[in-house]
Structure 1
Amino acid sequence: MTVAGDMCTEAAGVEAVSTTTPGTMAVGTAAQELRLKRGEFAIAVHLGLIRLIVRQDGGRPRVGHDELDRLRAQEGFPEALRARVRTVGTAKGAQQLGISPDRFTRLARAGCFTPITFYLNRYRAIVWLYLADELSGFAAREPRLLVGRSPAWLLGRLEGGTDCRARNWRSRRVERLLALTEDPWARAAVLAETLDPVQLAEVIDDPYERAYLARIRPEPAFGPTGPPLARETMAHLMRADEPDEMLWRRVSLVMELDNARETRPAPSPGGEWRDFAPPGDGRAPEPDVRADAGSVPANAAPDRAYVSVPESDPAPAPVPVSVPASVIGSRYGSEPDSVHVPTGVAKPAPGLLARIGLRRRVSKATGRQRPGRGRAPYGT
């Protein structure tokens, strides 16, 4: 049995301290002091019952001695703490609710209660686990769903093949991770994890931004433990798999990226930083248009609307230039044969549908249809 319980909880942004952390201990030692298993400890962190300390140097999170003293001082320790993080599977959950395992599975698939974690059995099948406390609360709120005939709305969901377990677990995990941090880039990294690489590239054009988000992605409290199969299953379950959910994650990521770029730019290779902050009017920075259009190479990149000038030559004064549609038309959609770009006038940024990759554009220069990209490169 491959347990994935300690992989569902991250220790991002709870409390940042310096590289020297006196009066702390490792999470493994803290779990033993609190008489919790690794999976129980991870669930307690996920629920906010235990606060971790994250070091500024990026090391493994730790637990302060004052946090252990606070938990030990609670009434009913350690039984009360273990009861709050106790999980049950389908068989024990059905027994707790007094229903059959088949009815329990139908209620879970319809989204009546949300899993807290999962593990892979010996057949490599996903086994969902639920909080025993939440099942007791559900039984008290919805006693009519436990006896008699199932309502029409529940039967309609099941007949349509609905299975809300993975989606509800994913939404719960994303909401908790977003609540753990206020850093806009870390929040964007959480949302980026819900999209597959192809969709992520459609939303975020810049590969350096994607690499930065992957680097600051929240990690489990105990590190990337478990076999590769469990980690692959975790990554697969984190990705949105329904059209409405994917659209919502795309829109949320675009909004979070706008906030992150205004706060600070993402680092690029060589120690360079790109100025992602828009000017006061909220538009993208205007291009540096130099020389004349005749010096534009025939194979110029479609996202470049300027001409590079050698360092040895003095930079001429900016003048208006007519840029061919093959240069900027593919970025902003259908354009006439020649587009006059006067100096000081910025090209309007694409709309939200184009930025999340849901609107297709036709380039008259090439006659081909291009899928919508995420965000127009800054400086165009």
Structure 2
Amino acid sequence: MSGNTATQSVTAIVPTAPARPRVRGTSLSQSRAARELGLKRGEFDLAVHLGCIRTVADDGGGGLHVTRAEIDRVSSESGFPETLRERVRAVGTSDGAAMLDVTTARFTRLARLGQVAPVKFYLNRYRAVVWLYLAEELRQYAADEKNAPLLTGRTPEHLRDQLDEGLDLRPRNWRGRHLGFLLRQAEDLWARAAAVASLLDPVQVAEIVRDPYERAYLNRLRPAQPAHGAPGSPAAQVAANITTAEYPDEIDWLRSDLRQTVAEAREHRPAPRPGPKAPSPPGAVQHGVPVVRASNAVRSGELACGQPSHPGEAPEKPRGLLGWLRRRTP
């Protein structure tokens, strides 16, 4: 698809974030933090996604938590909680069109052209994709005078041609925002590489990361994508199509970033690999058969060649192919 459409870029190169501090002292689960801040869980998740609320890792492996200090910081902001709710308010096409004072058809065209970028999506009962947009961003778009021609005038011909060809930048713009969120959450270079890899087809990842142990490590760190339906269901397939890069230039950018990030991660520390297999202790049993340690003579090949294991013992008669060859030797 043509990439000549002027779009509002939502993909940014996020600098490497320092390791997220571990929870020390009092902290709250995300559900408890949402209640204390007067937010619905969806509003809280979006606030974390946008960086309005900072989370920390739990020392006990219980996922991300919110410190009491962060709760106090957010709740002390001017206009809390109304201002926080407004910052994370997401609207659909109908409400978004009303905010821009345009028809829903024009709003959809603007979104497909990348003029407004979705922040969330979900699938309705008919497995149709419903896109949600930040109300705050829509207000800013409407207030910008340079956008007036697209809001009130006729859509330029070259943009109409791209729409007729099927241009729809909503999935791509969502992926750009989502990747920014994943990179902000990443604690080290391997986690950043896993975030980039999560938007690529596994075949693309395998072409870049050829080491199977590195790929396994990336899969282990792979961030969970938004769940929509049971795995393998039609709804899950629709969601997978949205969360996987599709444009050639988008794929090339992600492949290049993955290659560079993995190279930097290798220099920082190698991906974990299985250690050397420990020798079996005397008397151990493997697959129901006692493990017998071979003597130095066996390890050196003496018994295999028919040599006596102890002085005075007759050598064992060679059998098999080796014995047949010896019998035929003059």
TM-score bin (small chain) = 0.7 to 0.9
For residues 149-187 of structure 1, give each alpha carbon's deviation from its aligned partner in whole angstroms, at most 9, with x where no partner exists. 112342232122110000011012112322333611111
**Which stretch shows the higher mean deviation, 147-156 or 228-237?**
228-237
Q: Which residue does 2:255 correspond to in 1?
A: 250
Tell me, yes or no, if the aligned pair for 2:43 and 2:89 is still in contact at 8 Å: yes
Equivalent position to 1:29, from 8, 22, 32:
32
Structure 2 alignment gaps of length 5 or more:
1-16, 278-298, 302-330
**Which stretch shows the higher mean deviation, 74-83 or 243-252?**
243-252
Partners of 1:184 and 1:191 in 2: CA distance: 11
Q: Which residue does 1:82 correspond to in 2?
A: 85
Alignment of 1:341-356 (within 5 A): none
Letter in 2 for 1:132: A
3-state secondary structure, aligned to 1:59: coil
Partners of 1:312 and 1:260 in 2: CA distance: 43
Equivalent position to 2:159, from 154, 161, 166:
154
Partners of 1:46 and 1:271 in 2: CA distance: 41
Decide whether aligned partners of structure 1 residues 110 and 66 sit closer, same or farther in structure 2, where only a CA change above 3 A counts: same
3-state secondary structure, aligned to 1:108: helix
The answer on 1:55 being equivalent to 2:27 is no
1:83 Cα offset (Å)? 0.4
Per the normalisation by structure 1, the TM-score is 0.63
Structure 1 alignment gaps of length 5 or more:
1-11, 273-310, 314-380
1:16 Cα offset (Å)? 2.6
Q: Which residue does 1:145 correspond to in 2?
A: 150
Larger Rg: 2
Tell me, yes or no, if the aligned pair for 1:14 and 1:53 is still in contact at 8 Å: no
The alignment's C-alpha RMSD in Å is: 2.4
Q: Which residue does 2:112 correspond to in 1?
A: 109
Equivalent position to 1:207, from 194, 209, 212:
212
Letter in 2 for 1:115: P
Decide whether aligned partners of structure 1 residues 163 and 262 sit closer, same or farther in structure 2, where only a CA change above 3 A counts: same
1:207 Cα offset (Å)? 1.6
1:37 Cα offset (Å)? 1.1
Alignment of 1:297-336 (within 5 A): none
3-state secondary structure, aligned to 2:167: coil
Decide whether aligned partners of structure 1 residues 153 and 263 sit closer, same or farther in structure 2, where only a CA change above 3 A counts: same
Superposed structure 1 runs of 4+ greater than 3 Å apart: 179-182, 224-227, 229-236
1:218 Cα offset (Å)? 2.9
The answer on 1:180 being equivalent to 2:180 is no
1:234 Cα offset (Å)? 4.2
Equivalent position to 2:99, from 96, 100, 103:
96
3-state secondary structure, aligned to 1:129: strand
Count of equivalent residues: 259
Alignment of 1:276-295 (within 5 A): none
3-state secondary structure, aligned to 1:16: coil
For residues 95-129 of structure 1, give each alpha carbon's deviation from its aligned partner in whole angstroms, at most 9, with x where no partner exists. 11111000000000000011000111010111000
Tell me, yes or no, if the aligned pair for 2:228 and 2:239 is still in contact at 8 Å: no
Give 1 or 2: higher helix fraction.
2
The answer on 1:261 being equivalent to 2:266 is yes
Q: Which residue does 2:72 correspond to in 1?
A: 69
Decide whether aligned partners of structure 1 residues 265 and 83 sit closer, same or farther in structure 2, where only a CA change above 3 A counts: same
Partners of 1:199 and 1:312 in 2: CA distance: 48
3-state secondary structure, aligned to 1:49: coil
Decide whether aligned partners of structure 1 residues 177 and 84 sit closer, same or farther in structure 2, where only a CA change above 3 A counts: same
Tell me, yes or no, if the aligned pair for 1:31 and 1:38 is still in contact at 8 Å: yes
3-state secondary structure, aligned to 1:191: helix
For residues 169-213 of structure 1, give each alpha carbon's deviation from its aligned partner in whole angstroms, at most 9, with x where no partner exists. 101211232233361111110111111122211211122111111
3-state secondary structure, aligned to 1:253: helix
Decide whether aligned partners of structure 1 residues 208 and 235 sit closer, same or farther in structure 2, where only a CA change above 3 A counts: farther
Partners of 1:115 and 1:79 in 2: CA distance: 22
For residues 314-367 of structure 1, give each alpha carbon's deviation from its aligned partner in whole angstroms, at most 9, with x where no partner exists. xxxxxxxxxxxxxxxxxxxxxxxxxxxxxxxxxxxxxxxxxxxxxxxxxxxxxx
Tell me, yes or no, if the aligned pair for 2:122 and 2:228 is still in contact at 8 Å: no
3-state secondary structure, aligned to 1:194: coil
1:258 Cα offset (Å)? 0.7
